Structures are given as structure tokens and as C-alpha cells.
Structure 1
Amino acid sequence: MKEQLLNLVVTSRKYTLDVAEAMPADKYDTTPVEGIWTFKELLHHMAYGIEWWGANFVQGKETAWEPTALSKDKKAVFAYLEKAYDGLEKSIKELPLDESVVRGVHATLDHVTHHRGQAVLHLRGQGEEVPEYVY
């Protein structure tokens, strides 16, 4: 089961980073319409979400919702996403696998999928090619 969960995380990481890479750095501060997150804010939220959901629902540590400072640029967003995914993988490898961990991983990845879909719409709105999803 750990191997299956880790494979899900690897797949999520790859596609999330492919989506992040597809947007040119000079368009990271764009938004399709007024009043919603920029592409950079959305990806930063996803990275923080992986950390927060991972702490609360994978590790079982009650953690307040206190988002970190916004990543500076595309490179910083990438680094933050990598760090967040690394932490999730580490938790899966180190924790005893029980139903709450499995549910927590699935909930975390569901949150990522939700927002990654929004990121795909950001790409389309900017006329950028959307990476092919490989499962």
C-alpha cells in the first residue's frame, strides 16, 4: 500500500510541476479575471496546502491555517512545491500505514487536483499549451 500511495504522489508531483513549468515566468503574476488568485498565488497555495493537509490529515498534527509568505517568482514556487511534495513522501515512508494516513494522502492529493485544474485554466487563458496528463 505504501508503494501505491508513493506512486500517486509521484504522479501528482510530476503533473503539477509540468503545469507549473508550462507557464512562462513573466506570466506568473497574471490572472484570468479580476478577483481570483494569480497563477503564482494558486501554485503557492497548492504547496502550502500539501504541507497543511499533510500535517493535519496525514501526520495527525493539529495545525492552524497560517499560509507562508508568497513565493517570490517561478523558481521559488518550484522549490516550494518540491519541498512540500518531499515532506508528503517522507511522511508516507516514515509513518505506520493506517486508514487515517491513507485517507489523509488521498485528501491532500484531491486538494491538489482541484487547484491544478484551475491552474490548467490559467494556462489556457494565457494561450499556453497544457501538458498532457499521464496517469
Structure 2
Amino acid sequence: MKKILILLMLFSLNSFSQNETMDAFLEKWQNSKTYLLDLAKAMPEENYSFKPTEREMSFGEQLLHIKGNMDWLSTSYFTSEKFDKKKDETVYSKEEIISMLEKSFDNVYEVIKNTNPKNLKDKVDFFAGPKTKFQILNLLQDHVTHHRGQLIVYLNLKGITPPKYVGW
């Protein structure tokens, strides 16, 4: 009986930790959304084509790249849908880009919220080798953070004070 009780306690702790991981990600994801949208709004539309050097993406391209990556990772690794990674040459307005980013963040939130926490241990095929869905979850946030840091530099180079950081 004692062994069964210990096993039940360990199972409960493991389930709690998986749910806690999902809750922490979703909370952080909402704050990440708020902060990125604040940064996107801070840059005047006429500077969305600004890029510090010729080899870098413009401010607007950075935002669209973030959106595309969120769509790809969340669809490919957390749904049964097939992701169509087509190159989009459309020039979007600031308002359109912000709206698309907001929808993408919201979609990722819903997809992850509806993911069974136990599935985070599942391995998936990834171009950098097999990864767990938990690793893909971390990549989702890490990629946004990486490019958001670049956007802060772009704002500073244009003499615009970046919005105050929104963290946990």
C-alpha cells in the first residue's frame, strides 16, 4: 500500500509540473505578445523599411519573420495541420503587420493551451535533429526574444526610446 501511495504522489507531482510548465509558458507568451506589439507600435510606419545594414532585415521584415516562425512552429509541431511555408512578397502597412502579429500570438496561445502537457515529452523531427515538443515550446519563445532584441536596437538607432520591458 505504501508503494502505491508513493507512486500516486510521484504521478501527481509530475502532472502538476507539466501543467505548471504550460501555465508559465502561456503567461510569459501573453507578456511577450504585449511587449512585441508595444515595440511594433513605437516605430513610425515610415521607418518600417529601416534596416541598419544592407544584409539585415528591415524593421517590418523582422516582425513578419517572427510571425512566420510562430505560425510554422505552432502549426507543424502542435497540430495535425500541414504548414504551407510560401514566400510572401506582399508589402504590408504597419497596422496590417501589427494585426497579423496579434492574431499569430493568439493562435499560438490557443494551440498551446489545447496541447496535452504530457505530449511535451514527445519527440518530433526537426531540421536540427529530433527535439521534444518542450524544446519546440522553448524555441517559440526564444526566437521571439532574439528578434525582439534586434528591434530594440533598431528603435534606438532611430532615436526612439523603446517601451518599458514587460516580463513575467
* Partner in structure 2 of residue 112 of structure 1: 144
Using the TM superposition, give the Cα deviation of residue 101 of structure 1 relative to its aligned residue in structure 2, in angstroms: 3.8
RMSD: 1.9
TM-score with structure 1 setting the length = 0.88
- Match of 2:77? 57
Instruction: Tell me how far apart the structure 1 counterparts of residues 91 and 139 of structure 2 sit (CA, whole Å).
Output: 24
Q: CA deviation at 1:126?
A: 0.8
- Preserved CA contact (<8 Å) 1:50 1:108: yes
| Higher radius of gyration, 1 or 2 | 2
How many residue pairs get aligned? The number is 135
Specify the alignment match of 2:64 in structure 1. Answer: 44
The answer to whether residue 37 in structure 2 is matched with residue 17 in structure 1 is yes
How far the C-alpha of 1:3 sits from its partner, in A, is 2.0
Structure 2 counterparts to residues 59-74 of structure 1, below 5 A: 59=79, 63=83, 65-74=85-94
Cα distance in 1, alignment partners of residues 152 and 101 from structure 2:
16
SS of the residue corresponding to residue 31 of structure 2 reads helix
TM-score normalised according to structure 2 size: 0.72
Supply the distance in 1 between the matched residues of 2:166 and 2:65 (Cα, whole angstroms).
Answer: 23
Higher RCO structure, 1 or 2 (CA under 8 Å, sep 6+) = 1
The answer (yes or no) to whether the contact 2:66–2:144 under 8 Å persists in 1 is yes
Does residue 81 (structure 1) correspond to residue 101 (structure 2)? The answer is yes
Counterpart secondary structure, 2:155? helix
Counterpart code for 2:163: P
Task: Supply the distance in 2 between the matched residues of 1:132 and 1:71 (Cα, whole angstroms).
Answer: 29
